[in-house]
Chains A and B, each alone.
Chain A
Amino acid sequence: GESVGLHLPTLSVQEGDNSIINCAYSNSASDYFIWYKQESGKGPQFIIDIRSNMDKRQGQRVTVLLNKTVKHLSLQIAATQPGDSAVYFCAETGTDKLIFGTGTRLQVFP
């Protein structure tokens, strides 16, 4: 069996607080970035996206920030709720392939 696995970074936040999940990407040619949420036992689900000609995009309770200089992407969740508990993946596509990062586990406690 597997004795060594990916060490998923974990972010623990209290309900109502804001969450910030970070992601570093390596491909300078990537021009489109996406955040996905994966709940236990389910497939990843699209949350929000951003193109490389932007540095910020807002959705409902979520904001994505892109810093191309340092190849860094972040997802901010306002007023975190128990239903936000999941693994969050950043993904990138420079051509027509969707490539996922390793993910961050978000745990929300009351």
Chain B
Amino acid sequence: DSGVTQTPKHLITATGQRVTLRCSPRSGDLSVYWYQQSLDQGLQFLIHYYNGEERAKGNILERFSAQQFPDLHSELNLSSLELGDSALYFCASSVGTSGMETQYFGPGTRLLVL
């Protein structure tokens, strides 16, 4: 599958813990975006990386951080987890940064904080 991949599919953890979500973009895509989808807030943009550099930040909490590595995969780190962080976390990728490009989404990581 040459599409966007995300691991793990599911994650169950406890409050106060830290987790790392991983995303591999489509081959050739330099941009990676992270989104959070919750029942009450819908799909919310968190952060965007392009070729290893942070390009835009959305409603990302200070407890959350991300990075994009030289091989272009990205990791989203969530720390001091709270019950409200339970959500579906999507990664998307695109070729560049024009804003008019199609973003290709991964299957998501479902995080449950107990």
B partners with A: no
**A interface vs B, CB < 8 Å?**
none
